[in-house]
Amino acid sequence: MSKTWLITGASSGLGRLMTERLLARGDRVVATLRRDGVLDALQQAHGERLLVMKLDLTDVAGIREVVHQSFERMGRIDVVVSNAGYGLFGAAEELSDEQIDHQIATNLTGSIQLIRAALPHLRAQGGGRIVQVSSEGGQKAYPNFSLYHATKWGIEGFVEATAQDVAPFGIDFIIAEPGPTATEFAAGLVRGAPMSVYDATPAGEVRRAVADGSFEIKGDAARTVEAMIAAADAAKPPLRLALGSTAYSGIKQALAERLHMLEAQRDVAFSADVD
């Protein structure tokens, strides 16, 4: 049985691949993007099964209107995929106030407002599913990506709490956590102004690795999308879905280290209780 999907950030990368895969198997898709004309060929090929809408996630009123129109025109949306976002690259003090504000407005506030806008419609139709595209960077951190991580750690906390809020209404969530994947993500990085004082630091090492191509990328975009679709089709999907060996290994190591540090603090933690 075919499904109807709403996918943000569908002009390129994982969003574009997912849109193509779903249309090819006969599903309907509402695809949002910021640039006109990018999906014209797909629109001509698939006709009414593809609805293309313009959306900038920093426009909260626009998010609400696009979501409302999507449900109204499609009748029902089974899966909402919050995919749009980008990376801000640089050590914390290398970034401008404007860059920080835009990163948070897009990746964090925009994703929150998209989910908030979809929830009343999903409740009214008796349930549905939301896929929030996060990153392995929602559970671990690399130097030079502090603001990107702030948004991904933030959206994961929001989703984990909201999933508990709305589970009684038949609405469930998947947090997709890809590792470094062969998409246009690196090309789309917004960069702070490099400071020479960071050249000999971990931030400088990551900057050089990205610049010279030695930052290892193991993830396959097509296989990542296939795994996300399979999870969204599953009867009981996981709340978190690690995608790629780098994500699996990195998240496992980060969680083990955090658990080890927590266990070492047991006596101190308990000492803070009321007698």
Predicted confidence at residue 128, as pLDDT, reads: 97
Domain that holds residue 77: 4-271
Predicted confidence at residue 106, as pLDDT, reads: 96
- Considering 3, 70, 86, 148, which one is annotated as catalytic? 148
Assess whether 248 carries a catalytic annotation. Answer: no
The CATH number of the domain where 47 resides is what? 3.40.50.720
Question: Cβ distance 222 to 17 under 8 Å?
Answer: yes
Assess whether 252 carries a catalytic annotation. Answer: no
The Cα–Cα gap between 92 and 80 comes to: 32
Predicted confidence at residue 4, as pLDDT, reads: 98
Assess whether 96 carries a catalytic annotation. Answer: no
Residue that is written with structure tokens 């917004």 in the block:
190
- Considering 11, 70, 134, 146, which one is annotated as catalytic? 134
Number of compact structural domains in the chain: 1
Predicted confidence at residue 186, as pLDDT, reads: 67
Predicted confidence at residue 109, as pLDDT, reads: 98
Per-position pLDDT tens, the chain of length 275: 899 999 999 998 999 999 999 999 999 999 999 988 899 999 999 999 999 999 999 999 999 999 999 999 999 999 999 999 999 999 999 999 999 999 999 999 999 999 999 999 999 999 999 999 999 999 999 999 999 999 999 999 999 999 999 999 999 999 999 987 777 666 678 999 999 999 999 999 999 988 887 777 787 899 999 999 999 999 999 999 999 999 999 999 999 999 999 999 999 999 999 98
